Structure 1
Amino acid sequence: MKLKRSGCLRGKALAEKTTNQPVQSAATGFEASEKSIVISCPKENVTSKFLAPYTTFSRIHEKSITCFDISSGGGLGVSTSTDGTMKIWQTTNGETRRILEGHIYDVNCCKFFPSGLVVLSGGMDAQLKIWSAEDASCPVTLKGHKGGILDVAIVERGRNVVSSSRDGTARLWDCGKSACLGVVADCGSPINGIALDVADSAVELGSPEDPPSNREIGTKGKLLLLAREDKKLQGVSLHSRQPVFLFGGSDAFNCCAFLSSVHILAGSQDGNIYQLDTRNTQTPVQVTRRSGAPVLSLMPFREGYITSQGDGSCFIIQQDLDRVIELTEPDSDPVYKVALWEKLIYTCCRDGIVRKYLLSNL
């Protein structure tokens, strides 16, 4: 187990000597086991836990893993890499099940449909592709963007999907007809990340100027978040295409996520994590900065969230910020993405390793 940026050499030494049984030291504030160290300061009511991987997979790809996802059943993973491949693999042992071939140039994003049997991907070739996880066939290709696709979102069960691109647009697609249903937003700036969820009833989403297609399924009441390169976080109504809010940050936004129907998160290139209330986005609820490294991914977790950053750090942040769990081992290699399935957290990293962390003791 590796500890970084903590300065707690005594804690590391203690961890190296422990077995599966916890060891408590009241004098030092350390508690250690084979896979974790807890450092607490009772006077300040602050606790930090360092958690080592339960297991690692180093042979899925030969180079950096840039994006991945875990199926709804937890048995399969899909990942993209700078080695030019996209693969489906078993989460139990990392063995490759399928190789998905068809994109030209790099594949930037991949995501399982809710069924766990179908995969959506987007690449620098400006194409979206839909794949069968069972036989690696690609029955659907969606074309219309003029720049590389940077992120994707799936609307409910997947009759419709949303994509964002370097061309500055976010588009809504009909998977059954392989057609674009419309441009949801045209920002004039690359959209690095998107998130989609139901908006709070107090948020005004507007009405469509033109009657929507009957091929739109599940778009009503949905708010689409756009993390933009031009330092803006934008909210757009997916159904009406009307802008909801526009928030200016300190640097380019890389990612965004919903904490709830009211509260949202956005991570910037300079390391800031903004928490906003969608009912009033003029002033952030909170701005958190763990380090100056770019925030690369965000996802909700229990009463808080998980963030990964460009310096290799990956934190589970509790809502009160007095309890922080750090997922260790990547050192200074960027952690590009985090995925969660039940009590397991998976991360993918520039070093080409998928790490699996067991959260049964949290």
Structure 2
Amino acid sequence: MKNNHAHNKLLFFSLKGKALPVLCLLLIVVALSAYTNTDPIIPTGEYKLVYPANFGNRINVPADNPTTQQGVYLGRLLFYEKKLSATNTISCGSCHQQSKAFTDGRALSMGINNQLATRNSMSLANLLWARKFFWDGRANGLEEQATFPLTNPHEMGQAIGVSVKKLSNTKLYPGLFKIVYGDSTITGERIVKAISQFERTLISANSRYDQYLSGYYKPTADELKGMELFNRGPDPEKGIRGANCTHCHGGPKTYLELFHNNGLDSVSKDEGMAEFTGLITDRGRFKVPTLRNIALTAPYMHDGRFKTLDEVIDHYSEHIKQSVSLSAFLQNESNITGGRSLKLLPKEKKQLIAFLNMLTDDTFITDKRFADPHLTTKN
């Protein structure tokens, strides 16, 4: 030990004149290594969209906007980017919060300067299979849909050209756009394409209902009874009771992309699809939303008028309003012979809600791939 100590001491003094430069060099190398390690590693290549076989392969991915890992990465950043709003205070994620299955908990969404939107914020779950967007179906495809909230004065309220300029003046985005699109040019079309790519990855398919369909979950007695009610139409003459839900919410996705007047009003203040078609039969006709994570997406309906699932079921059970455009699926459906409304029993309503709670996907609302990336990069 003594000899080694002496040798080390001798070595130190023999390098005494060069010790400081060597230490400085080491510090520089360490600093550069630390800096390099903080740079994000951008994944590239095809993004594999994973979903259950029973969801079907009728997905909607445009040929000119294939889903890539780098595109989804950019789209996620843009989805949560507040620079895309006129006040730099809100993003797509403000009205579509992951903890609420990408809704916002408000009757009407709030845009810039606390302005209220005209309708309730819809869930973004499982848009991969959707073709028509918004409550009135006015947008054909996610790319077309994304443009509306970005520019709407009641929502993010900013011209696309301004958004392009803001992002172009950052250190972060030009390089990312080059990785995704081959060059650093930022355009409105590229912005909405990237956001759309991210939104297509928001797949919810791991609820207790999915686990039941896969044979990994045994429902409670109330959940099973609620499932039976959900899947059956009433036939009082045969003694069959049902809640008549699957005409609009059938299939494993609980979504059939239909548009119906669901009897909220005899004369609807919001014309729905009729605003575009001019048809009296489209008055008060709106998109039927998915029931995935429905327990998390209150309040309900296009105007958020119902605060709870109890109120929703009460509406379908006892309060359907007649009109010329009322869905044929809701006319004269009853558990009572000659009745004009469902007339579900209190116990049946609770059982139906027990089933609807099976549709909550806890992994969907906690998946880090969908979360706000919390950008800290100076841009």
Q: Under a length normalisation based on structure 1, what TM-score does the superposition of the two structures give?
A: 0.23
Question: Which structure dedicates a bigger proportion of its chain to strand?
Answer: 1
Bigger RCO (CA 8 Å, 6+ sep): 2
Larger Rg over CA atoms: 2
Larger helix proportion of the pair: 2
